[in-house]
Amino acid sequence: MSLFGASTGFGTGGTGVFGSTATDSHNPMKDVEVTSPPDDSISCLAFSPPSLPGNFLIGGSWANDVRCWEVQDNGQTVPKAQQMHTGPVLDACWSDDGSKVFTASCDKTAKMWDLNSNQAMQIAQHDGPIKAIHWIKAPSYSCVMTGSWDKTLKFWDTRSPNPMMSLQMPERCYCADVVYPMAVVATAERGLIVYQLENQPSEFRRIDSPLKHQHRCVAIFKDKQNKPTGFALGSIEGRVAIHYINPPNPAKDNFTFKCHRSNGTNTTTPQDIYAVNAISFHPVHGTLATVGSDGRFSFWDKDARTKLKTSEQLDQPITACCFNHNGNIFAYASSYDWSKGHEYYNPQKKNYIFLRNAAEELKPRNKK
C-alpha cells in the first residue's frame, strides 16, 4: 500500500502518531512483544515454575542458543542471559526449584544451565539429536529424561556421564511430555508409548495412534484430583486427539478434532491443512491452547468439546507456546517452521515471541 493509500488509518485509532500505516500482520492480536528475540526459528518456550518468585521465560532456537527473559508484571521483558549449544536447540525445561534450565540440542548433547552462576555443563549424550527434555521430580529420585532420534529414552542424574537408565524405543522420539508419575512419548511411524515413573521409569503401555498422520506434539492433562489422566496429541494434518489412559468408556471418551485448517469446518470446499506445532494446557482451568503452521493460536475446552477462541492470522507460523505457572500469561512464538520448504524461507523476516493475558479467555464457558 502507498503511504497515502486506503490503509493509512487516519482517525481509525492506530498505534502510531498518525495511526498505523499498514495492517500489522506480524502481531495482529496486538500482544506484548518480547525484547531481543532469537535470530532464527524458535523451537521451544518454557516459563519458570511456581517456586521461583516472578516470571522468567526461556526460549530455544535454531540459532543454537537458549535465552532467558524476566517478564515483569507490567508486561515489560528484560533479557537476562543466554547460553549456546553447537547445534540448534530443540527443547528446554526447568528444574522444579527454578534454579536450573535443561537444554536439548541437535549437537547430540543436553546441558544443565545453572542460572545463579550462569554456567552451563553437559549432562547427557546421545547418538543422534535430542528432541525432547524433561525434568522428573519423584519422591525417591530426581532426574532428566531425554528423548532422541537415536531411538532411545535416557534418564540422567546430572552428576554422572552415564545414564541411570536407557530404554529402547521402536522409532525416533518426535515429542514427549512428563507429569509425574506419567510420561508419554510420541515417535516416528506414529508410535505412542506411555511410561510410569514411580520407583523407577518403565514402559507402561504402547498405544495404537488415534491419528493417521505424523505426530508433532503431545501434552499430558490432569483430572480434578490433579493427577495425570490422559494426553492431547497433535499431528501434521491439522488434528488433535484427546486420549484418556483408562477411560470408563473409551469409544465415547476418546475423540479427535480438526484445527488449524483454512476454512474452519466447511468440508464442501478443499481446505489448506496445517501442522499443529504445539499444545499447552492451562494450569488452572484445564483448557488448552494449540498453535499451528497456519499462523494462528486457538483455545479449546476439551470437556465441553468447544472452541473458546481463535486468533487472527499471523504472517508466519506459530512454532511454540506455553502458559506461566498461574495461567495468567500465554506466550507464543512466531517464526518459520519450514512446513512449506526452503522456497518460503525469508532470512529477512524476524522472529517474535508474544505475551498475551490469558486469565479470562481460557475460562470454560458456563454450563447452560
CA distance 71 to 167: 38
Over residues 76-92, mean pLDDT: 97
pTM to 2 decimal places: 0.92
Q: Give the DSSP letter string of 317-346.
A: -EEEEEE-TTS-EEEEEE---STT-GGG--
Round to the nearest angstrom and report the end-to-end CA distance of the chain: 47
pLDDT (tens digit, 9 = 90+) per residue, 236-267? 999 999 999 999 999 999 999 999 998 766 66
* Partners of 317 in beta bridges: none
Least confident of 46-50, 81-85, 338-342: 338-342
Cell of 124: 547427557
Cell match 514411580: residue?
198
For the cut 80, the answer to whether the pLDDT of residue 213 exceeds it is: yes
Over residues 66-72, mean pLDDT: 98
Percent share of the chain, pLDDT over 70: 92
CA distance 44 to 91: 5
CA distance 93 to 357: 22
Judge whether 87 and 104 are in contact, CB under 8 Å. Answer: no
CA distance 258 to 169: 28
Distance of CA 23 to the CA centre of its chain: 28
Alpha helices in the chain (DSSP H): 250-253
Cell match 485448517: residue?
261
Is 307 contained in some domain?
Answer: yes
For the cut 80, the answer to whether the pLDDT of residue 139 exceeds it is: yes
Is 320 contained in some domain?
Answer: yes
- Residue 24 is predicted with a pLDDT of 75
In terms of pLDDT, which residue wins out, 230 or 366? Answer: 230
Q: Which residues contact 219 (CB under 8 A, 6 or more apart)?
A: 177, 231, 232, 279, 280, 281, 288
For residue 153, name the pLDDT band (cuts at 50, 70, 90): very high
Averaged pLDDT score across all residues of the chain: 93
For the cut 60, the answer to whether the pLDDT of residue 13 exceeds it is: no
Is 10 contained in some domain?
Answer: no
Around Cβ 246, how many Cβ atoms within 10 Å?
Answer: 9
- Residue 9 is predicted with a pLDDT of 35
Is 14 contained in some domain?
Answer: no
H/E element, 25? none
pLDDT (tens digit, 9 = 90+) per residue, 218-234? 999 999 999 999 999 99
User: What is the CATH classification number for the domain harbouring 271?
Assistant: 2.130.10.10
Q: Which of 282, 259, 274, 268 is nearest to 338 (CA)?
A: 274
Is 256 contained in some domain?
Answer: yes
Considering its fold, how many domains does the chain have in total?
1
Is 4 contained in some domain?
Answer: no
Is 49 contained in some domain?
Answer: yes
For residue 21, name the pLDDT band (cuts at 50, 70, 90): very low
Is 3 contained in some domain?
Answer: no
pLDDT (tens digit, 9 = 90+) per residue, 266-302? 667 888 999 999 999 999 999 999 999 999 999 999 9
Domain that holds residue 232: 32-339+349-362
